[in-house]
Amino acid sequence: MQKYFFICVILITLNALDNGLGRKPPMGWNPWNKYGCNINEEIVRQTADALVSTGLAAAGYIYLNLDDCWQSARDPVTKKIIADPIKFPSGIPSLVQYVHSKGLKFGLYSDAGMQTCEGKPGSLGYEEIDAETYSEWDIDYLKYDNCHTDGTSPKVRYPPMSAALMKQSKKIYFSMCEWGLEKPWLWAPPIANSWRTTGDISDHWYSFIAILEEQANLAQYAGPGQWNDPDMLEVGNGGMKTHEYQAHFALWAILKAPLLIGCDITNMSQDTKKILMNREVIAVNQDSLGKQATRVKKVLTSEVWAAEVADNGAGVVAVLFNQASIQESITIEFDKLGISGAQNVRDLINQVDLGQSTVSYTCQVPGRSAVMVKFRSVQSEQ
């Protein structure tokens, strides 16, 4: 029997948030990377339709989340949050009902400050009434940002919303977005289902690899119900090339990151759709073990990230990643993966078997690209 020594890192678990959610990384859509504040009810309805018609929902992308700028004010009497009447004339409950009718889940955004990042009403001091409102509206997911605060620590400002959500009959996935400022992986598991580990991603190569670098030592803090979040996907937004987006997606998948699409899915290219709907890459992200990849090798601009998986045949998945602009040969030695003997090798991106390998595996990786392979013991399959 193989032993995967490289992932024998003790999972540093504070007890995960006990709401029964997030046993696998969430998958869905968020408008911010594409639309920013220019979001409205029509876009949301069209996106809900597209999630279903394109097959994205069937592939696992079931959360349709709003980001900043959906809200406009608080009721002067009840203090309840009010949706922007121009952008969302039907109101949030009606929109939630429409999204739910498609078999999807609906998420909202707020902020652990007096205002959101775009100056809309925040939830600081209004945690109880906002949590009650979200529950009444049948919300499934809350992204909680970190702008315009009172200067207190996120460790003080985030627990009240978590506690308020936990009081509700409707269980709501809680996504903390404090940008990794106070190392939330060390204290957030009892509070949230996931937490951002960095600042915002941008749609260019150097933003992607800078954020990737910050994930290198975080695997031991992730697992079912508690996920590191390196921010949303930029795939399909146009700032990177197809092979760069493929690398972005493969690495986010093996990092067990929430896979939240950030492009206009009503107008996707075939390349974008192929990346986002690759069932074998998605399966790595959604694997029942929930083990985030560790970086097991780095030589200059070449690196290998790997994780043990259990589903679709137990084994080890590795991403061989070339950051250089020219093709490089990358070798991963099996002892770095904790495996030995003959291994069946499968290319998960192209979904083809590559034969067998022993001792190590080498491939030519084009510039700014990734190869994602799965190793399974030949002996275990006999």
Q: Kind and range of the H or E element at 272? A: helix 270-276
Query: Looking at the predicted structure, is the pLDDT value of residue 3 above 70?
Result: no
The predicted pLDDT at position 307 comes to 98
Instruction: Supply the DSSP string of 15-59, one letter for each residue.
Output: PPPSSS--SS--EEE-SHHHHTT---HHHHHHHHHHHHHTSTTTT
Distance CA 268, CA 237 (A): 9
One-letter identity of residue 262: G
Query: For residues 263 and 34, what is the distance between their CA atoms, to the nearest angstrom?
Result: 5
Task: Give dist(CA 340, CA 47) in Å, integer.
Answer: 46
Q: How far is CA 15 from the centre of its chain?
A: 21
Residues 6+ away with beta carbon under 8 Å from 164: 127, 128, 130, 131, 132
Percent of the chain with pLDDT over 90: 94
Give the relative orientation of helices 41-53 and 92-101 as an angle to the nearest 10 degrees: 10
Quick one: which H or E segment has residue 278? Answer: none
Task: Report d(CA 136, CA 114) in Å as an integer.
Answer: 22
Report the pLDDT value the prediction gives residue 379, as an integer from 0 to 100: 84
Give dist(CA 229, CA 221) in Å, integer.
11
Has residue 1 got a pLDDT over 60?
Answer: no
- Average pLDDT on 354-370 reads 97
Question: Distance (Å, rounded) from C-alpha 131 to C-alpha 145?
Answer: 15
Tell me the longest C-alpha to C-alpha distance in the chain: 71
What is the pLDDT at residue 6?
A: 47
> Helix, strand, or coil here: 205?
helix
Map tokens 């093996």 to a residue: 254
Q: Which of 193, 172, 175, 195 is nearest to 185 (CA)?
A: 195
State the pLDDT at residue 4. 46
Catalogue the active-site residues: 145, 200
pLDDT (mean) for 77-91: 98
- DSSP E strands in the chain: the ranges are 27-29, 63-65, 71-74, 81-83, 105-111, 141-145, 173-176, 194-196, 227-229, 259-261, 294-299, 302-309, 315-322, 328-333, 343-347, 352-357, 360-365, 369-377
pLDDT of residue 76: 97
What is the distance between the alpha carbons of residues 135 and 258, in angstroms, rounded to a whole number?
22
Spatial distance between the Cα atoms of 53 and 273, rounded to a whole number of angstroms: 12
Contacts of 62 (CB under 8 A, 6+ apart): 27, 28, 51, 103, 104, 105
Direct distance between the N- and C-terminal alpha carbons of the chain, in angstroms, rounded to an integer? 13
What is the rounded CA–CA span in Å between residue 72 and residue 87?
10
Helix (H) or strand (E) holding 189: none
Q: Residue 382: which pLDDT band, with cuts at 50, 70 and 90?
A: low
Q: For the chain, give me the number of helices (H) and strands (E)?
A: 10, 18
Please tell me which residue, 211 or 4, carries the higher pLDDT value: 211
Q: Evaluate the CA torsion angle 260, 263, 269, 272 in order and state its sign.
A: negative
For 97-111, write each residue's pLDDT tens digit.
999 999 999 999 999
Query: pLDDT tens digits, residue range 216-256?
Result: 999 999 999 999 999 999 999 999 999 999 999 999 999 99
